[in-house]
Amino acid sequence: MRKITFDIETSNIFSEVASNNARDLDLSVICIHDSETGEYSSYKQEELSKLWPIMEKADMLITFNGDHFDIPLLDKYYPGDLTQIKSLDLLKEVRASLGRRIKLDTLAQATLGSQKSGNGLDAVTWWRNGEYEKVIKYCIDDVKITKQIYEYARKNNSLKYLDLPSRNVKEFKLDASNWEEKEDHIMTHTLF
């Protein structure tokens, strides 16, 4: 199964576009991990034509909050319909199991013992300051964390988070047994 784990950074924020719809934002960079090649790569908005053939060959897209944010935003640029590819949104899985949302950084600290190297607002500022490589590194770091969280959940059928009121690390179960079941999808290919 070819899995593409990805994360997107933007060049603007919701308050600037007077909307909470991800499609109203502008992509600065998308970073991916391709399970077929084992490589991480990045694509600025003007390089998306190089990304489409990779996405079209994916059996599954893995994200954190991707169903609500990353996929709708990326689909704005894609000439077809990326929602036709199976999506595994880790935040959606966490919410279904735990009953509430947990930040990626909170999961990473408790589950992996690592943390994010910044946040989305930092990335927008860096992008505007021309610090493109800093944004790409941050985005790739988020892809690595998302991939590691996915792999941990698949192996252990659980994840951990730091419960702020008690300051204790808590583990919760989730069922990852069917995550890698293939689904048929109908893609409209870009012919790039």
Domain CATH number, residue 45: 3.30.420.10
Q: Is residue 191 part of a domain?
A: no
Q: Choose from 3-7, 14-18, 162-166 the range with maximum mean pLDDT.
A: 3-7
Is residue 180 domain-resident?
Answer: no
Confidence label for 192 from pLDDT (cuts 50, 70 and 90) = very low
Residue 189, SS3 per DSSP: coil
Number of domains forming the structure of the chain = 1
Which residue segment(s) compose the domain that 16 sits in?
A: 3-94+112-149
Confidence category of residue 164, pLDDT binned at 50, 70, 90: confident
Global pTM value: 0.92
In a domain, residue 35? The reply is yes
Sign of the CA dihedral with 88 first, then 20, 10, and 148 last = negative
Look at the block and give the residue holding tokens 């990473």. 108
Question: Does any domain span residue 166?
Answer: no
Q: Is residue 136 part of a domain?
A: yes
pLDDT the model gives residue 186: 56
Cα separation, 110 vs 42, in Å, equals 27
Answer whether residue 157 is part of any domain.
Answer: no
What does pLDDT average to over the chain? 92
Within-domain flag for 60: yes
DSSP annotation string for 48-115: HHHHHHHHHT-SEEEESSIIIIIHHHHHTT-SS-GGGSEEEEHHHHHHHHHSS---HHHHIIIIIS--
Q: In what order do the strands lie in the sheet with 3-10?
A: 39-44, 27-34, 3-10, 60-63, 86-89
- Specify if 179 maps to a domain: no
Six-digit token string for 138: 């941050």
